[in-house]
Amino acid sequence: MRNFNRRKFLKTIGISSLAVGMAPVIGSLKVSKAAEEIDWFQNINRVKDPPTSMTPKEKGHAPSVQLPGAIKAGEPFTLNIQVGETLHPMTPTHYIQWVEVYLGVELISRIEFSPLCPQAKVTIPVSVDKTSTLRVMSRCNLHGIWESTKEVKV
Ligand SMILES: [Fe+2]
């Protein structure tokens, strides 16, 4: 692990998924290695400005989290997540690979997708004991990892 390069590892996973799993589907399509693409994998991406001025990439990738109106401490509620305010596409060459939900640093759920899943949406049950912050992360095979947070008030 001494020579572990996280960026190279993450990029390799995305490309190898395409190269191995989708080779018969994509045929002669090439995986772009434009400089712009490389930047997406250097950090966890977040919405930079208030939601009223989101860029198209932010609108298409930052997880959108919907909570029910009333939440009681210790009682399960339904968390609805879709990747992107503008729903991210799910095609053989451009798709969401997974969504993770954390309460603080604790993983609540991880949902994996293949390009065969028609929509990057999930619904999971969640319970909190007190007012807390949920972190939702998703990974696009071309545009890296995106994170949104949502405060849950009880
Ligand atoms: Fe994307």
Flag whether 83 is in a domain.
yes
Distance from the alpha carbon of residue 95 to the mean position of ligand 1, in angstroms: 6
Flag whether 1 is in a domain.
no
Distance from the alpha carbon of residue 90 to the mean position of ligand 1, in angstroms: 9
pTM of the model: 0.75
Flag whether 61 is in a domain.
yes
Backbone angles phi, psi at 63, to 5 degrees: -55, 135
Distance from the alpha carbon of residue 18 to the mean position of ligand 1, in angstroms: 14
Backbone angles phi, psi at 117, to 5 degrees: -70, 125
Flag whether 115 is in a domain.
yes
Flag whether 24 is in a domain.
yes
**pLDDT digit string (tens) for the chain, length 154 residues:** 566 776 666 565 554 444 444 444 444 455 555 555 457 888 999 999 776 789 999 999 999 999 999 999 999 999 999 999 999 999 999 999 999 999 999 999 999 999 999 999 999 999 999 999 999 999 999 999 999 999 999 9
From the list 154, 142, 153, the residue with the least C-alpha distance to 40 is 142
Flag whether 50 is in a domain.
yes
Supply the CATH number for residue 13's domain.
Answer: 2.60.40.730
Flag whether 41 is in a domain.
yes
Q: Where are the beta strands (DSSP E) in 44-140?
A: 63-66, 77-83, 96-103, 106-112, 121-126, 132-140
